[in-house]
Amino acid sequence: MCGIVGYIGKQKASAIILEGLKRLEYRGYDSAGVATLTGSRFDLAKKIGRVAGLIKSTSAQKMPGTTGIGHTRWATHGGVTDANAHPHISSDQKIALIHNGVIENYASIKKFLLTKGYTFQSETDTEVLGNLIAYHYQKEPATSEGSRFVESVRKTLRHVEGTYGIAVMCGDCPAEIVAARKGSPLILGVGDGEYMLASDVSAIISRTQNVVYLKDGEIVHITAKSFSISTLDSEDVSPVIDKVTWRIEDAELGTHAHFMEKEIFEQPAALENSMRGRFSEDGSTAQFGGLNISAVDFRQIDRFHFLACGSAWHACLVAEHLIERFARVPVEVDYASEFRYRNTPLSKNALFFTLSQSGETIDTLAAMREAKRKGYKVLAVNNVVGSSIAREADGGVYQHVGPEIGVASTKAFTSQLLLGAMLALYVGRMRDMSFNDGVDYVHALKGAPDLVRKTLELAPQLKGIAKRYAHYHDFLFLGRLSLFPVALEGALKLKEISYIHAEGYPAAEMKHGPIALISEQCPSVFLVPSGEMFNKVVSSMQEIKARKGKIIAIATEKCDLPAGLADEVILIPECHEAVLPIVATVPVQLLSYYIAVELNRDVDKPRNLAKSVTVE
């Protein structure tokens, strides 16, 4: 949440920062701002609304500085106002600062600073940071201005409780930025005669692919010619420069109307990338390079715990079903936000997994730390390389689906479903799954991208249905077993991007309460598999029909649905149980997407949301 960009180089900083902010806008879009430094003067522009509005309003403003910082905000402390937008400038005009995170002890710091004569323009927790840095800067012995600047930031951060990714400029140091992180992501881009700072790589890949992933508790001091990293305890850190593999095209819309649409249609390729090189040579099981745990140790695990939030939590529920079904090992799934405070009794030989596209979700990170504190190994499934969770995990698997920019998760979700299915295979083959069953399973997984391709051809049909159903205010999504989490995902997709109320339920549970909602005004989306659950799901459909509820059925091709039972029937390919949730997800994504488009919603930036939830 909140996007940070910084630049030092030879070019006009404001243009580069605004371009970076556009790419980071999915992290927060309540307000945006930029400040550059010319001599000792800060040029500042900030306003509520989107980056496009800021660009318009700064077009006439002279911001010639070649050092600058910018921010897109997702409001935490203080409403959505121009005054609360970042950057914030200290009341003595010495320090400008942007911040992502939450300063928990801001009230006591503010009280102290008020006694020292500092004043405040905003209601934010952030503003205390700028003023506290200014306070320490005034008190710091006058060695070189640069080291005085770094030391004042270091002293400030030692007093701070909470989380932060910050970038700071000082009026006395025209070509310097000091940045630091704790609990909020921050990356240094090392370009050709220039440096950039950003919350994530999408803001900087157009200028450089060389990056340093800063760690919690590190401070980077950047000048026009060099940079140095140290810790809060003043220890020097040797930087490691990594190469980013994402390409600039991956973060661009191309011919698509929205990133969500682009990412839905990228799913076949994303699945191929997630599984590439991850099957054994004999084609009977999965293999993962980075688990850092031997097969012998893996064999000892008597329980898996999965921790995640949102869509990733739905993916965990599917993994639970498949692991229990194919590997016969018990699985617990917890919301990361609940697990961290629940103090669950845990078995001795448990292994934890966290699932997180961004690898920065604060609840998932904290839950992972809690499991590690209790002495458990935690493996992570992440998409973003070098993310906090990926770095702190004992091992893990990268998703390799490229940047996911649409706020609503799509390709990262189906990739998580695939990796969960592969894990079920991996563990299953260590236990009772036969070679032949393993071969069939691998064959099925390898066919998933093509089945998804085929399912995407249903887009025109779903567009038509969306037109007919966009005016409803309530929806139920119903499924059983591994399709229950897909129902949850369908309901989440619909509500987050179209603002229509939707609930996901196990189909048979519907009659224990939600059936009271059923009327002609509340359609139900049923996920219908052929096979043993078919008749059971059909019975639930009959119960809805008897109450005049409209039914949209997403059914596999062999389902012989009674004539007239469903008002709309979307036929998806028959597939292996491990692949079915992936294929069944595609129509619910398309339905939600087209309904949101029909309602003219801001699909990629739904209200109140932001990608990557880095505050609790």
Residues in the site for ligand F6R, rule: CB under 6 A?
Answer: 309-312, 356-358, 361, 364, 408-409, 492, 496, 612-613
Q: Are the C-beta atoms of residues 551 and 468 closer than 8 Å to each other?
A: no
Residue 154 belongs to what H/E stretch? helix 145-159
Give the shortest CB-593-to-ligand F6R separation in angstroms.
12
From residue 347, alpha-carbon distances to 174, 330, 344, 424, 430 in Å are: 57, 11, 10, 20, 20
Q: Are the C-beta atoms of residues 63 and 34 closer than 8 Å to each other?
A: yes
Q: Which is nearer to ligand F6R, 174 or 420 (CB)?
A: 420
Structure tokens at 538: 């059909």
Q: Are the C-beta atoms of residues 509 and 487 closer than 8 Å to each other?
A: no
Q: Are the C-beta atoms of residues 303 and 330 closer than 8 Å to each other?
A: yes
Q: Are the C-beta atoms of residues 317 and 484 closer than 8 Å to each other?
A: yes
Surface-to-core class of residue 560, CB atoms within 10 Å of its CB (0-12 exposed, 13-18 middle, 19+ buried):
exposed
From residue 24, alpha-carbon distances to 73, 189, 263 in Å are: 10, 15, 17
Q: Which is nearer to ligand F6R, 166 or 408 (CB)?
A: 408
Give the shortest CB-583-to-ligand F6R separation in angstroms.
19
> Catalytic residue among 22, 182, 411, 611, which?
611
**Residue 574 neighbours by CB distance under 10 Å:** 16
Q: Which is nearer to ligand F6R, 312 or 424 (CB)?
A: 312
Q: Which is nearer to ligand F6R, 319 or 492 (CB)?
A: 492
- Comparing every residue's Cβ against ligand F6R, the nearest one is 310
Q: Which is nearer to ligand F6R, 408 or 554 (CB)?
A: 408
Dihedral angle, C-alpha 331, 337, 338, 343, nearest 10 °: 90
Give the shortest CB-485-to-ligand F6R separation in angstroms.
12
Bridge-based pairing of strands 31-38 and 67-73 is: antiparallel
Give the shortest CB-365-to-ligand F6R separation in angstroms.
9
β-bridge partners, 475: 502
* CA–CA separation, 54 and 36 (whole Å): 14
Give the shortest CB-470-to-ligand F6R separation in angstroms.
19
> Catalytic residue among 2, 173, 316, 522, which?
2
Give the shortest CB-81-to-ligand F6R separation in angstroms.
26
Residue 522 annotated as catalytic: no
Q: Write the DSSP assignment of 534-577 as a string of letters.
A: HHHHHHHHHHHHTTT--EEEEEETT--PPTTS-SEEEEE----T
Residue 170 annotated as catalytic: no
Q: Which is nearer to ligand F6R, 314 or 545 (CB)?
A: 314
Q: Which is nearer to ligand F6R, 14 or 364 (CB)?
A: 364
* CA–CA separation, 448 and 575 (whole Å): 8
Mention every residue, 6+ apart, whose C-beta is less than 8 A from residue 161: 103, 104, 105
* 230-254 as b/e: b if 16+ CB within 10 A: bebeeeebebeebebebeeebbeee
Q: Which is nearer to ligand F6R, 393 or 613 (CB)?
A: 613
Catalytic residue set:
2, 611
